[in-house]
Amino acid sequence: MDYHLTEEQTAIQQLAERFTAEEVTPEAARWDAEHLFPRETLRKAAELGFGAIYTDEATGGIGLGRLEAAIIVEALAYGCPSTAAFISIHNMATWMIGAFGSEDLSRRFVPRLATMEYIASYCLTEPDSGSDAAGLKTRAVRQGDHYLVNGSKAFISGAGENEIYVSMVRTSDDGHRGISCLVIEKDTPGISFGANERKLGWHSQPTAMVMFEDARVPVENLVGREGDGFKIAMAGLDGGRLNIGACSLGGAQRCLDETVNYVKERKQFGRSIAEFQNTQFMLADMATEIAAARSLLHIAALKVNEDAPDKTAFAAMAKLKATESGSRVANDALQLHGGYGYLMDYPIERIVRDLRVHEILEGTSQIMRMIIGRDLLS
């Protein structure tokens, strides 16, 4: 494995870093404090191709690999992990339509999703089924040329704002084989949205419930075939876990960089706290955690891109390592900032809040350990 980025990958990284520095970092604190959804900034990101990063060019994306996607997402998260995660979720939903949908379905939706004229939500989790994804109860019953959908989805990023909802629904009682995937549009009669959830972090994106009450969805909005939903969901999650891990890396790297600058300037006992061995040891551990997590995540991204047999286990390892390391680094950064780290005048507390949920969504840390353990024993 060549651990150097190619010239093209370096150029992509620099493009994403430049965009973040100009369009994201200066506004992120305001988005967080005022709970603003930066739709115009998202569309500017889409102008660079970030609305359909790993969706094939043939269906309207820019056709990059999973490693390039992770590089872009990490760069965006350096400015705002919340907004980077939102772009990641949109990309996952867009890829599902492009990779598994019919030619007509892709033609109808992917080009608008790529420009983020339409923004997509991914609807899997329900009030009573989180980690047990196969236990979902939202039901779609076929009636002629439509499905009649009833049920609800919980913790949906973009709910009420986004135009498209890529939704996992039950079309039969045959366990995970009875799950199908539908593209449901916001203006579909019978769809409604709950109030925005009051969250610890991720304030730059709305999160709410999505409710379906006799929602009539055209049969042609089926992604793949009936019964393919669970397979599509799991395939999407391999990439989604990489990107959430990359979000944690971006936030952690920002915390480390901010902390290095801070400890050089902060003086106690007549000298900068950077001169104390305790500070240096903490910084060393933070940098090592980030480097190790990034290396594992890049290996996992290559495995997902190559469809390697152990891709799912490595994606789980990468998410587990990156998200837990990211939170530790952010927490240590706050500790080294002392009381100032707890203030909203500095970005550290915002990143601590934003990164915490990464250990829960796209599969909790405990589920990641289950996946890895089962792979070892299989």
DSSP label of 126: B
Q: What's the pLDDT tens digit per position in 120-154?
A: 999 999 999 988 888 999 999 999 999 999 999 99
Element (H, E) at 215: strand 207-218
Q: Which residues of the chain have pLDDT under 70?
A: 1
The CA–CA distances, whole Å, from 1 to 12, 69, 162 equal 20, 18, 39
Query: What is the DSSP secondary structure assignment for residue 94, as one 8-state letter?
Result: H
Which amino acid type is present at position 110? Answer: V
Contacts of 299 (CB under 8 A, 6+ apart): 1, 314, 318
One-letter amino acid at 287 equals A
pLDDT of residue 141: 98
From the candidates 289, 324, 349, 362, give the one annotated as an active-site residue. Answer: 362
pLDDT of 130 reads 87
d(CA 131, CA 151): 18
Residue of 224, 216, 218, 228 whose CA lies nearest to 149? 216
Residue 360 CB-density burial (10 A; 0-12 exposed, 13-18 middle, 19+ buried): middle
At residue 108, the pLDDT reads 97
Condensed to tens digits (0 to 9), the pLDDT of residues 320-335 reads: 999 999 999 999 999 9
Q: Check: CB of residue 359 under 8 Å from CB of residue 201.
A: no
Q: Tell me: the pLDDT tens digits for 279-313?
A: 999 999 999 999 999 999 999 999 999 999 999 99
Q: Which residues contact 335 (CB under 8 A, 6 or more apart)?
A: 282, 341
* Contact call for residues 96 and 110 (beta carbons, < 8 A): no
User: pLDDT value at position 1?
Assistant: 64
Active-site residue flag, 117? no
If you search the block for the tokens 């109860």, which residue do you land on? 137
Helix or strand holding residue 255 (H, E) = helix 229-265
Amino acid (one-letter) located at 182: L
pTM over 0.85: yes
